[in-house]
Amino acid sequence: MILIFGFRARAKNVGHGEFFCAHCGADRSYVLQHIRRWFTLFFIPIFPAGRVLGEQVKCTTCGSAYRPDVLNAPTSAAFSENLRGATRVAAVAMLAAGDVRNEAARTAAVDAARRAGSGSYDDSWLANDLSAIDASQLEMYLVPLAQGLSLPGKESFVEQVARVGLADGALSPAESRVIESIGAQLGLSAAHLRGIVVSTPGGPPAVAPGDGPPESTPGG
């Protein structure tokens, strides 16, 4: 009788959970697998031979395999939740840097939170947030946005916050500092931030010092 034996890599499920699958483009279930070499007899795995060779995360929907560090990225549900939180904290920080009683500024803060997905957000929620939110939490919220938001997404985030500051007039030095600190954490340059603020409705006119006023255009 001829014995046919050999070795074969085999994956064993050692964990599971939810992750963002780049191939599916959505949140999916995964299994975390350990890859080991198994001794086989007649092609049937008999026992594991040696240590774990590697780990992989496998999407249970499409079967794509990823390195385990894919689990460090937030799911899209977690990311959206964080974006909602970041918008509220940033809007409150901006409001607190200016006049918290200004009605236009409060309305802009409520609008920003609603646009970010907190549909039932209103002025009484805002009052709660103003007393409960510590603006130093903002940094914690911005870290995932710095990694996960596209450039237009970052610009739109800054614009939402700038609207709150601009609602009661030009940005005060304290309000500008809020924008600068958000911009720095999102990796946007000072010039880029000025451009976003200038193009925000209610922002200062886009005339650099030394430029003539727009109405001086000859033949106009």
Token pair of 213 as six digits: 């006023």
Q: Does residue 25 belong to the site contacting Zn ion (CB under 5 A)?
A: no
Region near Zn ion per CB under 5 A, out of 20-28, 96-104, 109-117, 134-142: 20-28
Identify the helix (H) or strand (E) that includes residue 158: helix 151-166
57 or 161, CB closer to Zn ion? Answer: 57
Question: How many residues in the shown chain lie near Zn ion by CB under 5 A?
Answer: 8
Give residues 134-153 in contact with Zn ion (rule: CB under 5 A).
none
Q: Choose which of 6, 9, 12, 24 interacts with Zn ion (CB under 5 A).
A: 24
Residue 25 neighbours by CB under 8 Å, 6+ apart: none
Burial class (CB in 10 A: 0-12, 13-18, 19+), 183: buried
Region near Zn ion per CB under 5 A, out of 26-34, 98-106, 147-155, 200-208: 26-34
Tell me the per-residue interface mask from 47 to 76 with Zn ion, x by CB under 5 A, - otherwise: ------------x-xx-x------------
Closest to 90 (Cα-Cα) out of 129, 148, 146, 147: 129
Token pair 């549900």: residue = 77
Token pair of 90 as six digits: 């940033």
Q: Cβ 26 to Zn ion, closest distance in Å?
A: 8
d(CA 3, CA 185): 64
55 or 99, CB closer to Zn ion? Answer: 55
Q: Choose which of 23, 49, 81, 103 interacts with Zn ion (CB under 5 A).
A: 23
61 or 80, CB closer to Zn ion? Answer: 61
Q: Does residue 21 belong to the site contacting Zn ion (CB under 5 A)?
A: yes
d(CA 108, CA 162): 9
Query: CB of 186 within 8 A of CB of 145?
Result: yes
Provide the binding-site residues for Zn ion, judged by CB under 5 A: 21, 23-24, 28, 59, 61-62, 64
